[in-house]
Structure 1
Amino acid sequence: MLKSSIFKFSIWAILLLSAGNAANATEIAVEEGLGKESSEEDSLTRYDRRILRYRKHWDVLMPTQSVIQTCGNMGIISLGIGWDYGKRSQWETHLLFGIVPKYDSDEVKMTITLKENFIPWRKDWGKGWQFEPLECTLYLNTVLGHDFWTKQPTKYESGYYPFSTRIRPNLGFGERFTYQIPNNRRKRVKSLTLFYELSTNDIYFMRFYRNGNAGFWDVFGLSFGAKMQIL
């Protein structure tokens, strides 16, 4: 089972890297075609214009980011893809796949996380550097395994487990540092971001709510990560 989980995790990593390379190749192709598009647009038929609009709608599904993150209640390490949008790219959606070591359990486990970030403002430091003093994040993650459930099994008394053990809602905040790679030096990545987050979930929050003496690190967890902007 350990070999199977590691193999699955490796496949996901390869697919994510391939998606990044494909996105980079598409960006180059789009840049090369911009000069031709305006001159050819007038000669396009109604069908051709409809196809172009159709493809543009689907282009929004193309990932613009590659992400790696450690801890954060989503596994010892997680890899994923992301999309940024908004007038100032202040919104981000990440889809991450993580791995949890066996520790005292019988097998290695995998996690899936759907994450939404909001970055209200940025501060330019010059020479390509940017500082984002606040990142707000909300995400749901699940652990794949037979030991976790969404609805409490009937073998337990009603209310014995007030929360699902399979799905965890998380809330966090953090800070980020971004370096914009100069245009003449860009190959595969547009910018690189390093970040940290302090996050908690429903179980940890209730621990604090029920026990006011709970320490800070009993409620919040610290995670670090990196984000590569592809497009």
Structure 2
Amino acid sequence: MGPLSLGCGWDYGRKCRWETDLSVGVLPGAWSDRTHAVFALRQNYIPWSIRCCRRLSVEPLAAGIYLTLITGEQYWVREPDKYPSSRYYGFTSRLRPTLYVGQRLTYHPKSDGPVRGVTLYYELSANDLDIVAKCGNKTLGLSQIVRFSCGVKLQLLR
């Protein structure tokens, strides 16, 4: 999703355990050939939320899947004609499904304002290409396919 992303989403289901988020991020040119926009659609599941005190809760497990789309002419959904057969590469370079697990810590401010919560989180994730590479190449270590990310989530509207 890039080192900086911004989005919106909603939570729903019994005890708001499910979340769907849409975000747009930026991949700076310093980390790529040029600056790219990255769009993400996330589906999150948070099975437990444990209240530690009046204003603090811990979510010991957050898991989900997200799909990212990166902009740029060199990224494609269908293989370009330069490849010898229709399934030569087999993966799109523009769309990337990713699985993740992580944990969260949420601060719940007083109930009279628009902010419902401020969440600090971290995630460990791997995308489809890396998972397939690991299955086919046992010498790859987990540190070579698993990514670490962290962030802050601001929950608005009650």
Please indicate, yes or no, whether the TM-score normalized by the shorter chain is above 0.5: yes
- Stretches of structure 1 that go unaligned for 5 or more consecutive residues are 1-73
Superposition deviation, residue 122 in structure 1: 1.2
Which residue identity is paired with 2:74?
Answer: D
Structure 2 counterpart of 1:125: 52
Which aligned segments of 4 or more residues in structure 1 are displaced greater than 2 angstroms? 103-107
- Using the alignment, how far apart are the partners of 1:110 and 1:133 within structure 2? 31
Superposition deviation, residue 188 in structure 1: 3.5
- Stretches of structure 2 that go unaligned for 5 or more consecutive residues are none
| Counterparts of residues 1-231 of structure 1 (less than 5 Å) | 74-103=1-30, 105-158=32-85, 159-183=87-111, 186-231=112-157
- Using the alignment, how far apart are the partners of 2:128 and 2:53 within structure 1? 40
Per-residue CA distance 1:176-208 (angstroms, 9 max, x = gap): 00111122xx43412111100111111110121
Structure 1 pair 79–134 and aligned structure 2 pair: CA distance change class (3 A): same
- Using the alignment, how far apart are the partners of 1:162 and 1:173 within structure 2? 26
Higher share of residues assigned strand: 2
Higher share of residues assigned helix: 1
- Using the alignment, how far apart are the partners of 1:173 and 1:106 within structure 2? 30
- Using the alignment, how far apart are the partners of 2:147 and 2:32 within structure 1? 22
Query: What is the number of residues matched between the two proteins?
Result: 156
Q: TM-score, length-normalised on structure 1?
A: 0.65
Higher CA-based Rg: 1
- Using the alignment, how far apart are the partners of 2:64 and 2:136 within structure 1? 24
Measured on the aligned residues, the alpha-carbon RMSD in Å equals 1.4
Higher RCO, 1 or 2 (CA under 8 Å, sep at least 6)? Answer: 1
